[in-house]
Amino acid sequence: MNRLLALAASVAALATTPAMAQDIAITGATIATGDGSDPVENATVVVRGGRVVAAGSGVAVPAGVPALDGSGLWVTPGLFASITNLGLVDVDAVADSNDVNASDSPFGAALDVSPVINPKAQDFAYSRAGGVTRASVTPGAGASIFAGQGAIVDLGADYDAVRHPRAFQYVEMGERGAWLAGGSRTSAHALLRNALLEAGSFGDAAQLTGGSRTRGNQPGETIGLDSRFAPGADRSSDVLLTRFDAAALVPVVNGEQKLYIEVERASDILSALTLKDEFPQLDMVLVGATEGWLVADRIAAAGVPVIASALRDLPVSFEQLAATQSNVGRMVDAGVTVAIGGYDSSGDHPRGLPQMAGNMVALNRVPGATGLTWGEAFAAITSVPAAVAGLEGRVAVLAEGAHGDLVVWDGDPLETSSAPIRVYIDGVEQPLTNHQTRLRDRYRSLDESELPRAYEH
Amino acid sequence: MGRHLNRGGPTVLLAATAMALAGCSAASGSEEPATASSSATVDAPYASTYEAYPGVPTAIVGATIYDGTGGRIENGVVLFSGGEVVGIGGADLAIPADYTRVDGTGRFVTPGIIDIHSHLGDYPTPSVDAHSDGNEATSPTTPEVWAEHSVWPQDPGFSRALANGGITSLQILPGSANLMGGRSVTLKNVPSRTVQGMKFPGAPYSMKMACGENPKRVYGGRGRAPSTRMGNFAVNRETWIKAQEYAAEEEPDRDLAMETLAGVLNGEIMIQNHCYRADEMALVMSMADEFGYQVTAFHHAVESYKIADLLRDNDVCSAVWADWYGFKMEAYDAIPENAAMIHNQGACVVIHSDDENGIQRLNQEAAKAQADGRRMGIEIADADVISWITLNAARAMGIADMTGSLEAGKMADVVLWNGDPLSVYSRPEIVWIDGAMMYDMNDPAMRPVSDFELGQPGEGDVK
């Protein structure tokens, strides 16, 4: 019926060698740009030189760009998965393979995931096959309320995954933060403030006054300087942070590095927001915010974006008593920028993001519930999380100049029955095979009359 | 009760389950049939006190019906009255005058959804240490514990499972720390002050077993057996030998653990066996042969696709997630096509949750598993997929003669969905349990609120 399906078999071959960005045009597809708008039928998307040129109806295919027939299919930007462990873990419960939590580390804020991300971890390939093309990767808080510095990655089948190292600092401030801080939220708050003050003093002494983290703001090229290696400065003896941790927090205090704060309870959210009064430069993002709907107006007024789990609806802890699936919709309605992200159970996975978003749409037909429109829901797993990560308009949206990450789906991407059939990152078509697909193919037949299944590969 | 005490545990068990297996000769092993049949609820300890709530004769008209047995009716009619399904058919099915009509136009009807693997109540929310009642992890074999003695009926999770998942029956299992974790309890998903008020009348017991990583990790970590997979089997086999000896005694002393195991050997108690890896499942089936019991279902059976033929030939169900994978070593080979590949070999599939969130979306999980099969060329009809979360679950819980499908005479456990239940965009609109309306999306008064949530932020919210 269409060339897209017919050509699918050639993808694996492409991926084994470093591939050049292709010029791509897909016509006649239902296209969702990820910007919050509704999907457009019979539309065209054009990618050249790894960048989106145009997407929508009435878009002409430039001469020389091969056009693929996308009729019956959907085309979207790649999904942006927030707050993942991608590349930090092979198997969660196999400690040797798990670099998420550094529970016995002498460091906290100084921890940096960027040199340890392994793009060959199966989760990369598995998530890519689910349409995830960009993600934030965060350490978990192990020995300190400061989990350390997260990175932004692309999920291309190569070793060049880290696009933005040290993109944010992550701090735990709820029940877990209280536990890590020594048993009380009071200690977590004292530790956080002390750390920011120490970092500020250190930054002043070291004359780290700004502009230190990033050089060159071209999309995809913001390889930040590492504040930890800034010129040394004398410090007073009355310090809690190691020099490395203090240095790592300097860009946070200066507002050059985002501070992700995990809080769930409404009162904890408000306490977190007041940090901006004390440290005006903070560029905060709230993570969790399960009770955010109770104080949505205040979050909106503070202009602080949120990364929230979509489907929490149980009082899992005393900081989540008001949990409801309507949390995201109510915050969005109040004017909060909300990305869907976060993974609660063993079954939650970046490639489950479309299902989470789809459930937000389902809420629109539940009286009393607040959901999202289809466009809002899809934006909450594409352009919005990209914007929260500081990449607005640059990734996870089909807008002119954005990275050419495309996913071709066999149906409505939010529907349980749909899946990607092609994935492009920066205009390069990606393999969709992985350990799981190989097992599927091996055990398609159980016939061992000639040889064991081990010879099927 | 007294007479049964003299005769030891297995007889008590028989009395408890005789009603469940009414008409089944396996239950007639009781040598006192009069007692077994007439006073089972008296003799069964902690007996169910559940009685159906009042309902009105109801006709759901004009909906697409999945009957749970693989049947599908467009523009159909479902009749129920007196707590039972009275009839199911097409638009021409006569509707008695006294029936209240519910408009099913554009909607779908399924049997009540059943979760074969839940820990609601024994690992309730809030998930605080004081609520951690699912694993008696003090000995690798604890057949003596009963999950019902841990269930907190005020777990808010029950109401979420009802309202968002259409769950009408569920099996609460002990956790998987132990090789033999104890007895399960099957519940009707009705709010109740007591667990007895939720117990599914006549449902047989199951015993939870677990192989693989968990038992050997929990006990090996304490420097005691089992610390290896071979240790798992050795401890199991030694325990089964003792159980065989106990079961052979004429008048054994009461022994709660042995009563449960003897019940398994007698075929009165089913086995729900947590087991991920294909090779271990095969060994467990051989162990069952060695001691003469039947594994009813392997739970979390992420590698069933590798031995689906063996599972089919041994008549063992696989209770699986749609796509959980990778969180532990024995889940590394989990694939999303598992359910479809098991089904394709003719073996029994049940989609389970093991999760207070997943239980709210078993319909979506089944739909994903179906679609993953379709993409590899395995076409499974929607109506058959619905059986994965209804009748197949009921079969593997021993309650299929009472619920799990929309057939005349069965319990009127019914969900009216506001769209195709295999779509992410659909939700339960009305849920009936034994013909009583227990949830109505359109009526906030028909949304149960647990004691725990009263006076709390978000009380009575849509959740």
List pLDDT tens digits, range A11-57.
444 444 456 788 999 999 999 999 999 999 999 999 999 999 999 99
pLDDT, tens digit, for every residue of B136-166?
Answer: 999 999 999 999 999 999 999 999 999 999 9
Q: What is the pTM of this model?
A: 0.93
pLDDT confidence of A209, banded at 50, 70, 90?
low
Angle formed at CA A21 by CA A18 and CA A26, multiple of 5 degrees = 130
Digit-coded pLDDT (tens) for A342-375: 877 777 899 999 999 999 999 999 999 999 999 9
Q: Which of A52-66, A195-209, A426-440 has the lowest mean pLDDT?
A: A195-209
pLDDT higher than threshold 80 for residue A169:
yes
- The yes-or-no verdict on residue B228 having pLDDT over 70 is yes
A40: helix, coil or strand? strand
* Residue A4 pLDDT: 59
Say what percent of chain A tops pLDDT 90. Answer: 85
Do residue B462 and residue A369 have CB atoms under 8 angstroms apart? yes
Mark which residues 350-369 of A lie under 8 Å from B by CB: 352, 355, 358-359, 361-363, 365-369
Q: Do A418 and B333 touch (CB under 8 A)?
A: no
List chain A residues with CB under 8 Å of B357: 311-312, 314, 344-345, 347
- Residue of A93, A439, A440 with shortest CB distance to B329: A93
Please answer yes or no on whether B427 and A416 come within 8 Å at the CB atom: no
B463 CB neighbours in chain A (<8 A) are 313-314, 323-325
Residue with the larger pLDDT of the pair A13 and A435: A435
Do residues B108 and B144 touch, judged by C-beta distance below 8 A? no
Asked if residue A223 has pLDDT above 80, the reply is no
Residues 6 or more apart whose CB falls under 8 angstroms from that of A451 comprise none
Contact B341 A324 (CB under 8 A): no
Can you tell me the mean pLDDT for A158-162? 96
CA B389/CA B115 separation, integer angstroms:
7
Q: Which of residues 426-455 of A touch B (CB under 8 A)?
A: 435-437, 439-440, 443-444, 446, 453
Interface contact A446-B422, CB threshold 8 A: no
Is the confidence at residue B34, as pLDDT, over 90? no
CA of A236, closest CA in chain B: separation in Å?
Answer: 41
Q: Which of A314, A418, A448 to mutate to test the interface with B (most CBs of B within 10 A)?
A: A314
Dihedral sign, CA of A199, A202, A208, A213?
negative
Q: Is the pLDDT of residue A227 over 90?
A: no
Adjacent-strand bridge partners of A350: none
Compute the count of residue pairs across chains A and B with CB atoms less than 8 Å apart. Answer: 169
Residue of B nearest to A344 (CA): B357
Contact A353, A81 (CB under 8 A): yes
- The partner residue sitting opposite B127, judged by closest CB among A316, A321, A444, is A316
Among the listed residues B364, B359, B339, the one whose alpha carbon sits nearest the alpha carbon of residue B349 = B339
Mean pLDDT of A225-233: 77
Nearest residue to B155 (alpha-carbon basis) of B123, B185, B202: B123
pLDDT higher than threshold 70 for residue A211:
no
R_g (Cα) of chain B, nearest Å: 22
The owner of tokens 């349980």 is A416
pLDDT digits over B257-299, tens only? 999 999 999 999 999 999 999 999 999 999 999 999 999 999 9
Is the pLDDT at B35 greater than 50? The verdict is no
> Residue B27: what pLDDT?
36
pLDDT of residue B202: 97
Average pLDDT over residues A411-439: 98
B18 falls in which pLDDT band (50, 70, 90)? very low
B111 upstream amide cis, omega within 30 of 0: no
- CB-based contact, A316 to chain B, within 8 Å: yes
Q: What is the pLDDT of residue B275?
A: 98
Task: Specify the pLDDT at position A239.
Answer: 80
CB contact under 8 A, B305 and A443: yes
**pLDDT (0 to 100) of residue B7:** 33
Q: Which of B126, B308, B461 sits opposite A316 (nearest CB)?
A: B126
pLDDT of residue B43: 64
- Model pLDDT for residues A374-383, shown as the tens digit of each residue: 999 999 999 9
Residue B11: pLDDT above 80? no
Q: What is the 3-state secondary structure (H, E, C) of chain B?
A: CHHHHHHCHHHHHHHHHHCCCCCCHHHHHCCCHHHHHHCHHHHCCCCCCCCCCCCCCEEEEEEEEECCCCCEEEEEEEEEECCEEEEEECCCCCCCCCCEEEECCCCEEEECEEEEEECCCCCCCCCCHHHCCCCCCCCCECCCCEHHHCCCCCCCHHHHHHHHHCEEEEEECCCCCCCEEEECEEEECCCCCCCCCCECCCCCCEEEEECCHHHHHHHHCCCCCCCCHHHHHHHHHHHHHHHHHHHHCCCCCCCHHHHHHHHHHCCCCEEEEECCCHHHHHHHHHHHHHHCCCEEEEECCCCHHHCHHHHHHCCCEEEECCCCCCCCHHHCCCCCCHHHHHHHCCCCEEECCCCCCHHHHHHHHHHHHHHHHHHCCCCCCHHHHHHCCCHHHHHHCCCCCCCCCCCCCCECCEEEECCCCCCCCCCEEEEEECCEEEEECCCHHHCCCCHHHCCCCCCCCCC
CA A325 and chain centroid, separation: 20
Chain A residue with the nearest C-alpha to that of B320? A347
Pairwise CB contact (< 8 Å): A126 & B325: yes
Q: Report the mean per-residue pLDDT for chain B.
A: 92
pLDDT of residue B247: 97
- The pLDDT of residue B74: 98
Residue A1: how many CB atoms within 10 A of its CB?
A: 9
> Taking residues A324-338, what's their average pLDDT?
98
Percentage with pLDDT > 70 across chain B? 91
Mean pLDDT across the stretch A377-394? 98
Looking at residue B207, its pLDDT comes to 98
Distance between start and end Cα atoms, chain B? 44
**Closest-CA distance of chain A to residue B413, Å:** 21
Q: Are A401 and A412 in contact (CB under 8 A)?
A: no
The rounded distance, in Å, linking the Cα atoms of B302 and B318 is: 9
Q: Is the model's pLDDT at A288 over the cut of 50?
A: yes
Instruction: Quote the strand ranges of A155-283, DSSP E.
Output: 162-172, 258-263
Q: Which pLDDT belongs to residue A342?
A: 80
Determine whether the interchain pair A315/B452 forms a contact, defined as Cβ–Cβ distance below 8 Å.
yes
pLDDT of residue B2: 33
Of A94, A315, A365, the CB nearest to B453: A315
A 261-290 near B (Cβ less than 8 A): 266
Q: Is residue A369 classed as helix, strand or coil in its secondary structure?
A: coil
Buried b (16+ CB within 10 A) or exposed e, B77-104: bbbbbebbbbbbeeeebeeeeebeebeb
CA distances from residue A193 to A237, A253, B86 in whole angstroms, order as listed: 18, 10, 67
Report, as an integer, the average pLDDT of B397-418.
98
Specify the pLDDT at position B313: 98
* pLDDT of res. A215: 40
Q: Give me A136's structure tokens.
A: 């934030």
Token reading at B358: 């997943």
Whether residue A417 and residue B371 make contact (CB cut-off 8 A), yes or no, is: yes
Chain A residues closer than 8 Å to B309 by CB:
446
What pLDDT is stored for residue B75 in this prediction? 98
Please determine, for residue B6, whether its predicted confidence score (pLDDT) is greater than 50: no
Distance between CA atoms of residues A322 and A312, nearest Å: 10
- Triad A193, A198, A203: Cα angle to 5°: 125
Q: What would the pLDDT profile of B78-117 be if each residue is shown by its tens digit?
A: 999 999 999 999 999 999 999 999 999 999 999 999 999 9
Interface-testing mutation among B425, B451, B454, with chain A (most A C-beta atoms within 10 A): B425
CB contact under 8 A, B426 and A362: yes
Rounded to whole angstroms, how far apart are CA atoms A274 and A279? 9
Contact B125 A362 (CB under 8 A): no
Nearest beta carbon to residue A368 from set B423, B444, B453: B444
Q: At A84, which helix (H) or strand (E)?
A: strand A79-84
pLDDT at B24 > cutoff 90: no
Q: Find the DSSP H helices in A286-349.
A: 296-302, 327-333
A205 pLDDT band (50/70/90 cuts)? confident
Please check whether residue B210 is in contact with residue B186, taking contact to mean a CB–CB distance below 8 angstroms. no
Nearest-by-CA chain B residue for A93: B328
Q: Name the phi and psi angles at B344, rounded to 5.
A: -65, -25
In whole angstroms, give the CA distance from residue A326 to residue A349.
21
Q: Residue B384: what pLDDT? A: 98
CA distance A35 to chain B (A): 21
What number is the average pLDDT over the span A106-128? 97
Taking a C-beta distance cutoff of 8 angstroms, is the pair A453, A441 a contact? no
B3, pLDDT greater than 80: no
Instruction: Say which of B355, B426, B453 has its CB closest to residue A347.
Output: B355
* Contact: A416, B422; criterion CB under 8 Å: yes
Burial of A57 (0-12, 13-18, 19+ CB in 10 A): exposed
CB contact, 8 Å: A416 with chain B? yes
Instruction: Output the CA torsion sign for B180, B185, B191, B196.
Output: negative
Strands B185-188 and B206-210: unpaired
Q: How far apart are CA A50 and CA A35, in angstroms?
A: 19
Residue A81 has pLDDT above 50, yes or no: yes
Q: Can you give the pLDDT at residue A19? A: 66
Nearest to A18 by CA among A163, A156, A161: A156
Residues forming beta bridges with residue B351, ordered by sequence position = B320
Distances, alpha carbon B258 to alpha carbons B17, B209, B239, B248, in Å:
17, 15, 9, 11
pLDDT band, residue A224 (cuts 50/70/90): low
A214 has pLDDT over 60: no
Q: What one-letter code names the amino acid at A417?
A: S
A223-241 mean pLDDT: 74
Distance CA B381, CA B394 (A): 19
- Contact between B324 and A346 using a beta-carbon 8 Å cutoff: yes
pLDDT score of A204: 84
Judged against a pLDDT cut of 90, whether residue A87 lies above it is answered with yes
Determine the Cα–Cα distance for residues B414 and A116; give it in Å rounded to an integer: 51
A127-156: pLDDT as tens digits: 999 999 999 999 999 999 999 999 999 999
Nearest to A324 among B332, B444, B458 (CB): B458
The whole-number pLDDT of residue A212 equals: 42
